[in-house]
Amino acid sequence: MDKYLIVGGAGIVGRFIAGLLADAGHAPIVIDKEPAGRAFDQRVMDALDLPEDAPELLQAATVLVLALPEEVALQVLERYAAHLASLRLLVNTCSVQQPLQASAARLLPGLPSLGLNPMFSPTLDCRGRPLLLCEREPGADGERFAELLEQGGMRVSRLPPDEHDRLMAVCQTLPHAAVLAFALAVQRSECDPGLLAALAPPPMQTLLGLSARILDNPPQTYWDIQRHNRHGARQREYLAAGLDLLHQFCRQDTPDAFVGELDAVRDYLGGTHDHHARTCARLFRLLNTTQGETHDAASGKPSVLDAQGSQQGGGVAGDPAAGPAGHHR
């Protein structure tokens, strides 16, 4: 039977993988500086100290899971490579796959290496949700791990590491950059945040909720997604160019160019436009209903605190169902 060693197992993604393994009848060993919060077999220590403090764990592991930020995962892999006598499969949960996969190919040639990227918050029920799997070289050990994920009810898709990073630059780096830019801009507006919460229409509520979601998660996650995806710079450049283009439109006397550009976006979205429009309509109905349910007793208008509370209760700002995170995400 495989011996699973999860480094970084007290983090959100690490606990998620440890839970999947435990539910499938395995007994993973968790390494982390913080308690994992569940009755796992855990050794509390710094991941970089493992080769000196507990070398027997590395030597016995047949599956090593690195549930760590990119920079730390690369350091750990360099440190562990000479101590993995029994290893048959390396698994990582990095938001960006190419750097670690390239390092694994250099340090552990021929060893199957999987990258896992849940496209949802690991605190949610994983059944029916998408997960991306990156495999350097197909093999039986990797396929068994993929089957474990599918048995957990996830929809597993496979991509090569570089293609994964290109897609995630659009799916994760770009939207996070847009929300982060909005958050930095609204802070500089110097408007009363309580008044914004009380008066914000649904688009503003949505952006404030997304900003709060990012602020509620470890900043390292978003730093990794922005800093380490080599395709992310191009998406941020496109985002900045879009704002420059909007500035140009606003200096013109007619909206013709502006309308033409929006028509081009509609053509690009094609048949997916209606799906996205329905999703937005459902979200805005939720926001409008939630905001309208609580009113100031004297004025009949939503109060500042009620509006803030409605955002927290509406499944957008403070609800884990609002989405990742990646891990992500």
What CATH architecture is 4-159? 3-Layer(aba) Sandwich (3.40)
- The rounded radius of gyration (Å) of the Cα atoms in the chain is 23
Over residues 272-321, the pLDDT tens digits come to 999 999 999 999 999 988 655 544 433 444 444 343 333 333 333 333 33
Mean pLDDT by 10 residues, the chain (329 residues): 93 92 93 82 94 96 95 96 96 94 95 93 90 85 88 92 95 97 96 95 96 92 91 97 97 96 97 97 89 45 39 32 37
Q: Measuring CA to CA, how many Å separate 173 from each of 93, 165, 177, 190, 275?
A: 16, 10, 6, 27, 22
pTM of the model: 0.77
Strands 130-135, 113-118: pairing is antiparallel
pLDDT reported for residue 221 = 85
Over residues 42-68, the pLDDT tens digits come to 999 999 999 999 999 999 999 999 999
